[in-house]
Amino acid sequence: MRIESTDLADVLVFIPEPFRDDRGLFTRTFDVDVFDGATPGPVRAASFAQDSQSRSVAGVVRGMHGRSGRGEAKLVRCANGAVHDVLVDIRRESPTFGEQQAFLLDDVEFRHLYVPPGFLHGFQALTDTADVCYRIDRPHDPTEDLGVAYNDPELAIEWPRAVAIVSARDAAAGSWAQLLQSV
């Protein structure tokens, strides 16, 4: 498994190396030793408490979501299809505070995105269906949910497709300026 750093502080991309033959492929999607050897700070493989999966149709945008309090760490991958995945650093002490970066996650390269606590996260489905899997380090607490509108003009996220569907919650999300007052 290869590991790549990103332009955002502490965010890593894990890239499995699938074995392909006439039957299809086999790949390891997670390895405790590799993860623990690569990630900085207190989050260890044993820290993950939940696995979740979403299925979206082409053009759907989910996000931009985050958590207050101590935040949450995630390991995100696209098991089926492809998504345009976006992170925004909301850690005031971070050298990349306020910066964003986009990643292609798909079922060809199987990239896994390690998202440390303190980031907004969202994605857009690029294929007819896209299944995104999340490994999360603590149970969800709705009282800690943060959100910024996917089309906030200050963030100016460039979604690659026309936005087809967003949830009512995401459509009603606040602005980047409002979030900055709370973090």
pLDDT tens profile 77-110? 999 999 999 999 999 999 999 999 999 999 999 9
pLDDT at 29 over 90: no
Cβ pair 105, 76 in contact under 8 A: yes
Task: Say which residues have a Cβ less than 8 Å from residue 84's Cβ, sequence separation at least 6.
Answer: 102, 103, 104, 123, 124, 126, 159, 160, 161
Number of domains in the chain: 1
6 is written with which tokens? Answer: 């990103």
Q: What percent of the chain has pLDDT over 90?
A: 77
Token pair recorded at residue 50: 């939940």
Q: How far apart are CA 16 and CA 111, in angstroms?
A: 7
Identify the band that residue 122 occupies on the pLDDT scale cut at 50, 70 and 90.
very high
Query: Is residue 13 scored above 90 in pLDDT?
Result: yes
Q: Encoding tokens for residue 90?
A: 């909301």
**Angle at CA of residue 6, ends 142 and 137, nearest 5°:** 30
The model's confidence at residue 62, banded by pLDDT at 50, 70 and 90, is: very high
Distance CA 55, CA 80 (A): 9
Take residue 39 and report the two structure tokens written for it. 């990630």
- pTM for the model: 0.91
How far, in Å, CA of 130 to CA of 124, rounded? 9
pLDDT by residue (tens digit) across 104-118?
Answer: 999 999 999 999 999
State the average pLDDT over residues 7-21. Answer: 91
Cα–Cα dist 79/178, whole Å: 34
Domain of 163?
A: 2-182
Please count the other Cβ atoms lying within 10 Å of the Cβ belonging to residue 43: 20
20: domain CATH number is: 2.60.120.10
- The residues annotated as belonging to the active site are 65, 134
What pLDDT score does 59 carry? 97
Predicted confidence (pLDDT) at residue 41 exceeds the cutoff of 80: no
**Per-residue pLDDT band at 182 (split at 50, 70, 90):** confident
pLDDT at 24: 85
Give the single-character DSSP code of 9: T
